[in-house]
Amino acid sequence: MEIKRVLVAGGSGLVGSELLPLLAEQGYEVAILSRSGKGNRSYAWDPENGYVDPEAIRFADAIINLSGANVASYWTEAYKKKITDSRTQSNAVLLAACIKENRFPKVYLSAGGMNYYGDSGDSWMRESDPAGKEGFLPGSCVAWENAVSLWKDYGVRTAQFRISLVLSMKGGALPKMLMTLPARILPVFGDGNQWYSWIHIRDLANLFLFSLKNEAISGIYNAASPEPWRMRNFLRHCASAHGVHAWYPSIPEFMVKIMLGQMSETVLTSIRLSVERLEQAGFTWMFPELEKAVRDLRKKS
Ligand SMILES: NC(=O)c1ccc[n+]([C@@H]2O[C@H](COP(=O)([O-])OP(=O)(O)OC[C@H]3O[C@@H](n4cnc5c(N)ncnc54)[C@H](OP(=O)(O)O)[C@@H]3O)[C@@H](O)[C@H]2O)c1
């Protein structure tokens, strides 16, 4: 089966906004699965209650799953459950719908999270490294990966990406981190020595496209640029890309924890991703360097 039609679950979000036009540009017919039915070509689903429009399954030669409750919200116990359930259920519901229709995509690609590794200090983290033991996100990412791996049992080529901080000026973490840049102040969380791995949104969209076309892509991949930075230097490069000399006051770790609650683990955790596996697969980055990446995003915003 040649891949012509791509179904993007959760395609209404930030990553989808970059990926959808790219897929269309490349000649794919694209539709999204959305709970609210927004967007041009959109099929309905309700992952929480196990419903997927069967037409969506009949449409798809390939499925890309980007869905999941946004992590950047205050984490109550109920919200943490929602973060995990929305990811495991969406996979389970799609797989059950394919089994019911007896129609499987040629390839299934899924988002995943670099927070799988948890705090890992200065070590370069590779795909074979174990999941982190502390905090909430490592366990949540493991459950997500277990749900995605079930697709392989049905002979579907499956790949999942441990995605780093996605850089875009249209949403996600970057505009929030740079909110105070006009005042030449960029607050550093904790001591600012934690490693931030990141990827330009265009490179992430290209990675999904590359994986769609390249039959050798299967399994788990770190999705990041080859150039992670410690948070303090990450902010310096962002300021420099804006031509601004900024001041970098530290917010002590305990204050960050008071302000953000348990969600502080998303900004205080040190994760330095190795991209050796992607390099070996032949993937090339348009924006491997942070300053150039931010300059490009700035130009487009
Ligand atoms: N952005 C990042 O920096 C980053 C980093 C690491 C990993 N990721 C992962 O990459 C994927 C795409 O990221 P993104 O930034 O594009 O995410 P996003 O903007 O938050 O969009 C994800 C989509 O998921 C759907 N969704 C929201 N809550 C849901 C729920 N409770 N159940 C099922 N679907 C739900 C929404 O679509 P509808 O409302 O149309 O249904 C939404 O448009 C996500 O899985 C995210 O966790 C992102």
User: How do residues 23-75 score in pLDDT, each as one tens digit?
Assistant: 999 999 999 999 997 666 899 999 999 999 999 999 999 999 999 999 988 89
Q: Whose CA is nearest to atom 11 of ligand 1?
A: 66
DSSP run (H or E) holding 62: strand 62-65
Q: Which of 23, 58, 21, 51 is nearest to 37 (CA)?
A: 51
Per-residue pLDDT of 114-148, as tens digits, reads 999 999 999 999 999 999 999 999 999 999 999 99
Does the CB atom of residue 138 touch ligand 1 within 6 A?
no
Helix (H, G, I), strand (E, B) or coil at 71: coil
**pLDDT score of 284 more than 80:** yes
* Residue 188 · residue 231 · CB < 8 Å: yes
Atom of ligand 1 nearest to the CA of 114: 6
Sort 158 into a burial class: Cβ within 10 Å, 0-12 / 13-18 / 19+: buried
Report the C-alpha gap between 140 and 273 in whole angstroms: 19
Q: What is the distance between the alpha carbons of residues 271 and 85, in angstroms, rounded to a whole number?
A: 24
Q: Is residue 69 within 6 Å of ligand 1 at its C-beta?
A: yes
Q: Is the pTM of this model over 0.95?
A: yes
In the chain, how many H helices and how many E strands? 11, 16
Query: Side chain identity at 158, as an amino acid letter?
Result: T
Residue 301: band (very low, low, confident or very high) from pLDDT cuts 50, 70, 90: confident
The sign of the dihedral angle between the CA atoms of 220, 226, 231, 235 is negative
281 within ligand 1 shell (Cβ under 6 A): no
